[in-house]
Amino acid sequence: MELVIQPNAERAAWLVASLIARALREKPNLVLGLATGRTMECVYNQLVRMHREEGLDFSLCRTFNLDEYIGLPPTHTGSYRYYMNHNLFDHINIDPRNTHLPDGTAADVKAACRRYEEAIEEVGGIDLQLLGIGADGHIGFNEPLSALLSRTRDKALTPSTIAVNSTLFTDKSEMPKRAITMGVGTILDARSAILLVTGADKADILAQAVEGPITAMVSASALQLHSHCRVVVDEAAAVKLQGQDYYRWIFENEPEWADYHAPQA
């Protein structure tokens, strides 16, 4: 695991988008795992800008989202399919047939979960998985006590997750209480991962996830086991980290980060 501290949320999102863009240029048929939420909107804004201004090509890219609510049709403004179309897919040259989300309206949810795992396997697995972190340390909808080897499955959401996410619904009563999510094991199978964390409200859980013990109570802590995971955070989220000085030294001195020191374009 590598941890990079950036001055602010905007710069952190720019760095994550730049890492994704580099991976896509190196492998045009990249299989990209995607996340949703407010934190990711800045990343997708940057990717759209890179597509429009720099010609970043998504035509061969394939995507798999972490999760989707159970019971919401794709046209519902609260669904993650709607979110992805609105924030990214409708603004880049990706083939819609290459964009995948779990089927939250499937008659047989468990069969849909198995098909999702199979679809990921059929394309050779995920090359780069983008992640955010929940207030209780969940990645995807892998709520506390999720098995660290779990696969794509249906999950009951915690009351705290429902309370936070319902603020994104015009009618809070429409917020689902269940979702389909990639499992922790599915996420760990990705060849590389990037976790983006911003804001002072995530400082405590970030420190637990990256510097604390690996535990099913904080599913993001399983990323400590990943052989190629980069964690990008802003100063506000980094305040509780014990290794801040070392993380800054690595970013300033390691050759792999040299191209990312210039002021943001």
Q: Determine which one of 100, 138, 189, 234 is catalytic.
A: 138
Note if 136 is an active site residue.
yes
Could you confirm whether 53 is annotated as catalytic?
Answer: no
Residue 31's SS3 state is strand
DSSP E strands in the chain: the ranges are 2-6, 31-34, 62-65, 67-69, 99-100, 128-131, 153-156, 178-181, 192-197, 229-234
Query: Measured between alpha carbons, how far is 172 from 53 in angstroms, rounded to an integer?
Result: 38
Catalytic, out of 136, 154, 174, 204: 136
> What does the CA dihedral 82, 11, 60, 87 come to, rounded to 10 degrees?
10
Integer Cα distance of 202 and 135 in angstroms: 6
Nearest-CA neighbor of 44 among 36, 55, 54? 36
Find the angle CA(73)-CA(63)-CA(52) to the nearest 5 degrees: 100
Question: Which is catalytic among the residues 51, 67, 103, 226?
Answer: 67
Contact in structure between 180 and 169 (CB atoms under 8 Å): no
Q: Is 143 a catalytic residue?
A: yes
- Is residue 2 part of the annotated active site? The answer reads no
List of E strands, 7-77: 31-34, 62-65, 67-69
Rounded Cα distance, 181 and 67, in Å: 4
DSSP bridge partners of 34:
65
Q: Of 103, 143, 189, 234, which one is the catalytic site residue?
A: 143
Q: Give the residue numbers annotated as catalytic, written as ranges.
A: 67, 136, 138, 143
